[in-house]
Amino acid sequence: MAAGNGQGDRRVRVQEVGPRDGLQNEPRTVPVGIKVDLIERLAAAGLPAVESGAFVSPKWVPQMADSEEVFRRIERREGVTYPALAPNMKGFERAVAVGVTEVGVFAAASETFSQRNTNCTIEESLERFRPVCAAAREAGVKVQGYVSTVLGCPYEGEIDPGTVADLCGRLYGIGCYRISLGDTIGVGTPAKAAALIDRVAEAVPIDALGIHLHDTYGQALANTLACLERGVRTVDSSVSGLGGCPYAPGAAGNLATEDLIYMLDGLGMETGVDLDAVAAAGAFITGWLGRTPASRVAQAFAGRKAA
């Protein structure tokens, strides 16, 4: 891929979501100490953003019930952001109380998915976010807006790119500084991903767009490349491909951070991330979970080490 002209075109911001999105559906409770160790390992690897918790109801996401304690215990590195989900005012207040400087709110491009995931309509979700964005401006806290099911919904099928663009524009308009486009069930293909970026970029500046891709059909890396070629420079990924979605039957884990960094390094893109350190962090958490990493690069590294 041609990296484009100028230094900025070669820089890609990789946002690590493993400690939150990757672990939130684990049936076995991950202790605070393990979460803190993972977060600190990932930050030390050079990742500029490590999503570290979620201030949501413990009834719905019990794995994130200890987010306050996680934020109290992590040793924060200069230059690293530690975002957390805070989709309503109660969650926002809890997050700010422990020093969170960037929060995420999440909507869906599918009405049915919105009802299943957040128990409200798309319009109602936007109304919940308005006071969060207003309070965040007052507190000097950044807000990122996540949009789920942008390339397909498990209940409604294909989603109109115009619907996605309209929702993204509204989130940007109420104060979300970045909009992350989520292929929640991983059904996208490069052509569809590129077309979606072009359509959404009519409503939101390209430098305010990010992507959050799942790898259900093995298309996450190819889709990422297609989005990079359209100008996207913020990519979410999860160490060792951890993750999934309880409201999206059959959805696989996120794009693996190891695989993403390996590809970006090969393209000559600049991330500032140490691939070996990320792979070590992935080996740490998958070892604790007792599973093999989903990342092909991590598997290759492990095989090379064994040899």
302 assigned to some structural domain? yes
Tell me whether residue 1 is in a domain: no
* Cα 188 from Cα 213, distance rounded (Å): 9
9 found inside a domain: no
Judge whether 130 lies within some domain: yes
Residues with Cβ within 8 Å of residue 192, at least 6 apart in sequence: 151
Q: At what angle do helices 220-229 and 190-200 cross, to 10 degrees?
A: 40
Closest CA to 142 of 83, 209, 60, 183: 83
Q: Which of 133, 153, 176, 245 is catalytic?
A: 245
3 domain residue, yes or no: no
**pLDDT, tens digit, for every residue of 260-307?**
999 999 999 999 999 999 999 999 999 999 999 999 999 999 888 877
Note the pLDDT of residue 111: 95
Q: How confident is the prediction along the chain (307 residues), in pLDDT tens digits per residue?
A: 543 333 358 999 999 999 999 999 898 999 999 999 999 999 999 999 999 999 999 998 999 999 999 999 999 999 999 999 999 999 999 999 999 999 999 999 999 999 988 889 999 999 999 999 999 999 999 999 999 999 999 999 999 999 999 999 999 999 999 999 999 999 999 999 999 999 999 999 999 999 999 999 999 999 999 999 999 999 999 999 998 655 555 556 899 999 999 999 999 999 999 999 999 999 999 999 999 999 999 999 988 887 7
What does pTM read for this prediction?
0.94
- Alpha-carbon span 268 to 2, nearest angstrom: 9
Identify the burial level of 296 via C-beta atoms within 10 angstroms of its C-beta, where 0-12 means exposed, 13-18 middle and 19 or more buried: middle
Question: Is 168 known to be catalytic?
Answer: no
| Domain assignment of residue 68, yes or no | yes
Torsion of Cα atoms, 189 then 191 then 193 then 195, to 10°: -150
How many structural domains compose the chain?
Answer: 1
- Give me the long-range contacts of 71-75 (CB less than 8 A, separation at least 24): 71/95, 71/98, 71/99, 71/100, 72/98, 73/32, 73/33, 73/36, 74/36, 74/39, 74/40, 75/40
Q: With respect to residue 193, please indicate whether it lies within any of the assigned structural domains.
A: yes
Residues 125, 107: Cα–Cα separation, whole Å: 6
User: What CATH number did the domain enclosing 175 receive?
Assistant: 3.20.20.70
User: 263 lies in which domain range?
Assistant: 15-306
115 falls within a domain? yes
